[in-house]
Structure 1
Amino acid sequence: MQKHTTRAARLVAGLAVAGLAVTACGSDETATTDAGSGSTDVAGGGTVTLGFLPSWTDGLSTAYVWQHVLEDQGYDVEFEELGDPGPLYQGLADGAVDVYPSGWPEVTHAQYMETYGEDIEDLGAWYDGAVLTMAVPDYVEGVDSIADLQGQADRFGGRVVGIEPGAGLTGVVQDSAIPTYELGDEYTLQTSSTTAMLAELQSAIDSQEDIVVTLWRPFWASSEFPVRDLEDPEGAMGDPEGLHELARAGFSDDMPEVAEMMANFSLTDEQYGELENMVVNEYGEGQYEEAVDAYFEANPDVLEQIQG
């Protein structure tokens, strides 16, 4: 098995995908394809490029899961780490990225699927019931619903603390939740990054200050921070959705063994919570591979399920 290559390259909007095709590697039995960045091998092998948003730790965690699984099966794995979903979906559509292992195509990233979906292959959902939320710390009184934010802007500094400007969650809050609950005259959605939002949340909790943030589940921070989701009686945050493995068009034809393994993959809330906690909290940056090794050692049934 050849050692994998990890490229911590951050693509910018308007990917120059023509220059990003990855040279396939494999044995003499490998049949290469010009359809995307990977190659196909009847006996297993070749290169698979996984794209994900590191700040969305479902994608981070599952990318390292697939690195572990695919390398064990004789594939090389390359990573494309991006800061915004738009270039990632464009990369899938243009073939610069083989697989986004944890896409949110039904609600959160629906606008990207409308733009690029004809050139993206859905390999299936590995998790059901993902939700977008707005949340406050547990100690915040008198605010149990998004509707309860009306007339209380002074408590929260007139802002909702959000994440990346291009995130689907940002669009849902700005274009749906805020107008639905008539908050636009009182609140501004402050965008920055997931890391910056979590830092502000931690600072507010340390000082016992009122704050409202945008979050989602599954996400480790929703469990690690003492917060509660605000009820959404109008359904402005969207319905629960599945997390899907999304691939470039033709991927399942080029790499049927990988596509089949991804179709076999699914996690319960408990299984996913343990995975993300190991990757993000128990091990952390620089030890993601070790975290996944430990996860599979503790959960051999998950690995058996993937391998069929």
Structure 2
Amino acid sequence: MRDRRLITVAALGAAASLALAGCASDGAGGTIELAGGGSDAAGGGDKGTITLGFLPSWTDGLSTAYLLQDQLEKLGYTVEMNTLTEAGPLYTGLAQGDVDVFPSAWPEITHAEYMATYGDSIEDLGTYYDNAKLTIAVPEYTDIDSIDELAAASDRFDGKIYGIEPGAGLTGQTQKMMPEYGLDGSYELVTSSTAAMLTELKSATENEKDIVVTLWRPFWANDAYPVKDLEDPKGAMGEAEGLHFLGTKGFAAEYPEAAELIEKIKLDDAQYGSLEDLVVNEYGEGREAEAVDAWLDEHGSDFDWVVD
């Protein structure tokens, strides 16, 4: 199961890299030209076209994007899916109207800097999950339980913390955390991609080696690998926050029925975990629509917002 999960994320990351053709923004402004996409599911209608922008390797957004695609198409909208590899260009596209909805944003803490830059051109469509956390994690067998124990143990971890994409909010928060615990002189934050981090984590845990990685909750990897969150006594990784649906400014006025539906969506840990597991692990790449159908068959009756 772990191999299948890792292969899925790696493939998604590669697909996302191919999709980011012509992107001319580093997240600090400028223009963006989004690549490819188009809905690959049956359905759609004549109420207008809504573009969802997301990072496939960030599986919270992947899962909720396909859930929204299903529901919005049943309402009569045409849905286009645009995949990117960094949060900066996604926020740029959202602010400029090239993307209509970001289906899983972390605007309160993790993406606060992007919101400070682009927030005037973005509207909050609702919070669907309210206990998201950024974490620093080690294997369960590692006899370290707190971030403040890392400084004295850098040799055990080869002086490396394995992170994800350079432009991710998690990366920025980790960079802020490191001097708080005196890690900036003894550790290097290795950034590349979510798939690359998971490759390192998989290899280390299979060989029972020590490793430090950046993770977050909710995320399926917390259950797929034998890892534990390190305590953060200084609160340097931030408090728990909500996962939001964000729209380009004016979205609710242009698509009121869609905005009303999106605002109603609320998921608890079990409901969200089931959705992500089905989309990422049980069905996998190319079968996301089937995964959403299976999830709705199981959980649809729990909600008053589900469109049949």
Shorter chain as normaliser: what TM range? 0.7 to 0.9
Match of 1:110 in 2: 112
Relative to 1, partners in 2 of residues 1:240 and 1:219: Cα closer, same or farther, differing over 3 Å?
same
Percent identity, aligned pairs only, is 56
- The equivalent position to 2:19 in structure 1, one of 9, 16, 27, is 9
Amino acid at match of 1:9: A
Q: Residue 120 of structure 1 contacts residue 248 of structure 1 at CA under 8 Å; is this kept in 2?
A: yes
Residue 155 in 1 paired to residue 156 in 2?
Answer: yes
Matches within 5 A, 1:8-157: 9-10=19-20, 12-14=23-25, 16-17=31-32, 45-141=47-143, 143-157=144-158
Q: Secondary structure at the match of 1:130?
A: strand
Q: CA RMSD in A?
A: 2.1
Relative to 1, partners in 2 of residues 1:74 and 1:210: Cα closer, same or farther, differing over 3 Å?
same
Structure 2, unaligned stretches of length 5 or more? 1-15, 38-44
Residue 173 in 1 paired to residue 183 in 2?
Answer: no
Q: Residue 13 of structure 1 contacts residue 86 of structure 1 at CA under 8 Å; is this kept in 2?
A: no
Amino acid at match of 1:222: N
Question: 1:124, CA displacement in angstroms?
Answer: 1.1
Question: 1:305, CA displacement in angstroms?
Answer: 2.6
Distance in 1, matches of 2:80 and 2:293, equals: 18
Match of 1:164 in 2: 165
Question: 1:303, CA displacement in angstroms?
Answer: 5.3
**CA deviation string 1:267-292 (max 9, x = no partner):** 00000000000011111111111111
Question: 1:302, CA displacement in angstroms?
Answer: 4.7
Relative to 1, partners in 2 of residues 1:229 and 1:19: Cα closer, same or farther, differing over 3 Å?
closer
Relative to 1, partners in 2 of residues 1:19 and 1:155: Cα closer, same or farther, differing over 3 Å?
closer
Match of 1:192 in 2: 192
Q: Secondary structure at the match of 1:121?
A: strand
Amino acid at match of 1:109: H
Match of 2:13 in 1: none
Question: 1:19, CA displacement in angstroms?
Answer: 8.7
Q: Secondary structure at the match of 1:79?
A: strand
Match of 1:35 in 2: none
Question: 1:17, CA displacement in angstroms?
Answer: 4.6
Distance in 1, matches of 2:33 and 2:66, equals: 26
**CA deviation string 1:228-263 (max 9, x = no partner):** 000000000011100000000000000000000000
Q: Residue 53 of structure 1 contacts residue 83 of structure 1 at CA under 8 Å; is this kept in 2?
A: yes
Amino acid at match of 2:239: D
Q: Secondary structure at the match of 2:304?
A: helix
In terms of mean alpha carbon deviation, does 83-92 or 219-228 score higher?
Answer: 219-228
Amino acid at match of 2:140: D
Relative to 1, partners in 2 of residues 1:17 and 1:192: Cα closer, same or farther, differing over 3 Å?
closer
Q: Residue 129 of structure 2 contacts residue 242 of structure 2 at CA under 8 Å; is this kept in 1?
A: yes
Amino acid at match of 1:10: L
Matches within 5 A, 1:217-236: 217-236=217-236
**CA deviation string 1:75-101 (max 9, x = no partner):** 111011010000000001000000001
Match of 1:206 in 2: 206
User: TM-score, normalization: structure 2?
Assistant: 0.87
Q: Residue 262 of structure 1 contacts residue 306 of structure 1 at CA under 8 Å; is this kept in 2?
A: no
Q: Residue 32 of structure 2 contacts residue 89 of structure 2 at CA under 8 Å; is this kept in 1?
A: no
Query: How many corresponding residue pairs?
Result: 280
Structure 1, unaligned stretches of length 5 or more? 1-6, 23-40
Runs of 4+, deviation exceeding 6 Å: none
User: TM-score, normalization: structure 1?
Assistant: 0.87
Matches within 5 A, 1:269-308: 269-302=269-302, 304-307=304-307
Distance in 1, matches of 2:66 and 2:296, equals: 11
